[in-house]
Chain A
Amino acid sequence: MTIFKHLIKHKLHIAILTIPITLLMVGCSGAMPASSWPNSIMADNNLIIANNNAVYAISSDFGKLVWKFPDKPDSTRSQFYTSPAYTNNSIVIGSDNKHAFTIDITNGNEVWNFDATNNKSGTAPTGISVESELAFFTSENTLYALRISNGQTAWKFESAKELWAPPSSNGQYVFLPGMDHTLTSIDISNGSQIWQQHLTGALADSPTIYQETLYTGSLSNSVYAIDASNGMIIWEFEAKGWVWGSPMVIDDYVFFGDLDGYVYALNRANGREVWTSQQLDSASRGTPAYSDGNLFVTSDNGFVYSIDAISGNTVWNIEIDSKNADRLLADPIAHNGLLYITSMNGENIVHAINQSDGVIVWKFNPE
């Protein structure tokens, strides 16, 4: 009651103080966006989705929830956006608060976690990839090679600047993309550097390995083919916009999209342009999916396109949810006649679409 009286007495200056506080709270909290977008992978016929505070396993056939990690809200395990990796019945995932986790795929229970905070607060984008017995976890400017069996560090490698994507591996070497414009080859057995190639732009996704050649886009419009054995550039192609996602290599072609909304097909041998698509409605960030002669690409504004891989012509396109879902920045996944689209906004974070006509088969709402 006394507090109430006090509030009435001082309502004027309380009101005046409330205005700036509200303005700042609304203005600045709205400006605290998610650090990245949800990502998903296919593992054992389940779709594993990393989205904000949880990792979900859903059946790829009907979109039913199998498990959720953590099963209860837990602030210490937060902000999962990294694309998960799958090996030996385990899902390995990184969180923005600089932790890596291994989850049992059968029940969603944590097996181990690895702390890369070094007793410092803050967040950083992380990356995860796996190769035989090792998980490669990137956080800030360090690459950790962790033993999948127990989460112990086998070795670590420090880069000059931060790392946003995990390395790719051919079993003998790992190829680490850096935001400092470098691609580095590292010996998988001991973490020592073999070669380093300086490129024109930052590398924000893993290189694609195909027959001892690395294919990588960059945040400088350039796409490169690089000899995996010595780091020499075989060819370079200039796109219209930044090429973020890893290129997709199918037979003699290299396919990728750019942030200006174009999709390209190049001759794998010499990097010459085979076709460039018509400009999409907005940026295409992810790696295209491929199935039965068609490429599937997504756009930032919420559209999905099926493009003929030979001619570059659009077969169909749909807007998956005109009201809510946009920011289709994750890689689309083609599997058993369906296309799985992970979206950032909207009620449903996954849409399963028919590859043939773009009709939505099911949606997954995490709530």
Chain B
Amino acid sequence: MWNQLVIYPFTNSLLLLYKVMGDSFTLSLIILTLAIRLLLMPLTAKQQKSQMKMQAMQPDIKRIQEKYKGEPERMQKELQKIGYSPASMLAGCLPMLIQFPILIGMYRSIMHAIPAAPLQMIDLYKATYQSWFPEFHKMIPVERNFLWMDLSQPDRFYLDILSGIGVPVLPLLVYITTVLQQKMMTPATADPNDQSAQMQRSMMTMMPLMFAFFALQFSSGLSIYFITSNIATVVQYMLLNRERLEWEPVKIAGIFELPIPSVSAPPPTKPSQQSEKGGTSSNPTTVAQEKMSSRKAKRLKARKARGGKRRR
């Protein structure tokens, strides 16, 4: 059932794209990954919006947590009032979990579609929709080499000077793009001791390592899927939030700095509550919002001066 519903359609789609893309399995893999991302877009967009909402709530959450420090019940009620619940944080993980069966399906399809061994070739013969490929024999063996990579094998880049030591280039890229994606999309939390914040930190440390480990162990094709998927998520996030995009240097694995795009916090959910406290907030998120509001005001002023016309 799993084969018929997931593996075989993925495998045949990969082969069809391979044929269309002039016998490039890498391109076929990239296009199928992007198509899957496109199908999952409603789900991921929802996740991203919920994260944005969470980010916007942070000043309010912090304010309530400070105000009702000794009254946990009241604090919970107030937090509920502004729409915050730790469960919503967990719900944010759901789209990610839904992606795992797809990931597994993708992995097995890659192994099916680029048979590097006899048993896989027999399984490919069974998996192929013969009517889609009238001259299937011409496609065999499917070209699985790209640059230095054999897409059916774990990636190692060999240099003569390193005498037999393979550099895992793609697993490193998987790690970097996963960190990039997580840093960009994870909202800052108000209380670092909060359980959800702790969970977030665990996820941020563990997930890139876990994906890099899988990339190290399994076929390079899977790494191409991870990298494409991560980049697509980042681009999608940047497009959804292009109004508030800023570039900040971030340390990757504590070794080198990379300027990565980050999104400044969206406008607060309840401006009336913000003003309740009065004065300028010392919270960095709020400062960023204020800076942004001032930039927006300047833009509006400039537009008015030009006679209300939008600058092209």
Contacts and interface: CB of A to CB of B under 8 A. Distances in A.
Nearest to A22: B100
Contacts of B207: 17, 20
Interface of B: 90, 93, 96-97, 100-101, 103-104, 107-108, 111, 116-123, 125-126, 137-138, 140-141, 150, 153-154, 156, 158, 163-164, 166, 195, 198-199, 202-203, 206-207, 210, 214, 218, 222
Given A10-B202, A16-B93, A23 B104 contact: yes
B116 A124 contact: yes
Interface in A173-194: 179-180
A36 interface: yes
A34 B120 CA distance: 9
Given A120-B164, A202-B141, A28 B125 contact: no
B137 A16 contact: no
B103 A24 contact: yes
A162 B206 contact: no
21 contacts: A13-B198, A13-B202, A16-B93, A16-B199, A17-B202, A17-B206, A17-B207, A20-B207, A27-B101, A27-B107, A28-B214, A28-B222, A33-B119, A35-B119, A120-B166, A121-B154, A121-B156, A125-B116, A200-B137, A244-B122, A329-B122
Nearest to B7: A31
Given A119-B164, A120-B164, A27 B104 contact: yes
B119 A24 contact: no
Interface string A90-128: 000000100000000000000000000001111111000
Given A17-B202, A119-B163, A221 B96 contact: no
Contacts of B120: 33, 35
B119 A31 contact: no
A219 B100 contact: no
B199 A31 contact: no
Nearest to B123: A33
A202 B166 CA distance: 31
A267 to B, nearest CB: 24
Given A21-B210, A202-B140, A37 B118 contact: yes
A202 B101 CA distance: 33
A348 B126 CA distance: 25
Contact of B125 (A23, A119, A242): A242
Given A31-B107, A35-B117, A121-B156, 14 more contacts: A17-B203, A19-B97, A20-B96, A24-B103, A27-B104, A31-B108, A36-B119, A119-B158, A122-B154, A124-B117, A201-B137, A241-B125, A244-B122, A283-B125
Chain A interface, DSSP helix/strand/loop, else mixed = loop
A20 B118 contact: no
Contact of B137 (A17, A31, A36, A242): A242
What are the 9 A-B residue pairs with the smallest beta carbon separation, nearest first? A27-B104, A119-B164, A220-B137, A35-B117, A13-B199, A201-B137, A31-B108, A122-B153, A23-B100
Contacts of B118: 35-37, 81, 125, 164, 204
Given A12-B195, A12-B199, A31-B111, A300 B154 contact: no
A334 interface: no
Interface in A37-56: 37
Given A28-B104, A123-B153, A202-B141, A20 B97 contact: yes
Interface string A306-336: 0000000000000000000000010000000
Contacts of A204: 118, 121
A143 B277 CA distance: 80
A20 B116 CA distance: 27
Interface string A195-210: 0000011101000000
Contacts of B199: 12-13, 16
Contacts of A12: 195, 199
Contacts of A272: none
A351 interface: no
Contacts of A27: 100-101, 103-104, 107-108
A243 to B, nearest CB: 11
Interface in A76-91: 81
Contacts of B198: 10, 13
A285 interface: yes
A81 B117 CA distance: 11
B305 to A, nearest CB: 52
Contacts of A34: 119
Nearest to B210: A21
B104 A31 contact: yes
Contacts of B122: 244, 259, 283, 285, 300, 329
A164 B122 CA distance: 13
Interface string A130-163: 0000000000000000000000000000000110
Nearest to A36: B118
Given A120-B166, A125-B117, A28 B107 contact: yes
A220 B210 CA distance: 41
Contact of A13 (B117, B119, B203): B203
B253 to A, nearest CB: 19
A104 to B, nearest CB: 28
A274 B307 CA distance: 91
A351 to B, nearest CB: 20
B28 to A, nearest CB: 19
A28 B225 CA distance: 14
Interface string A273-315: 0000000000101000000000000001000000000000000
A27 B110 CA distance: 13
Nearest to A244: B122
Contacts of A17: 202-203, 206-207, 210
Given A13-B198, A20-B100, A28-B214, A219 B119 contact: no
A27 B101 CA distance: 8
Contact of A219 (B103, B116, B137, B218): B137
Contacts of B164: 119-120
A182 B166 CA distance: 32
Nearest to A161: B141
Nearest to B218: A28
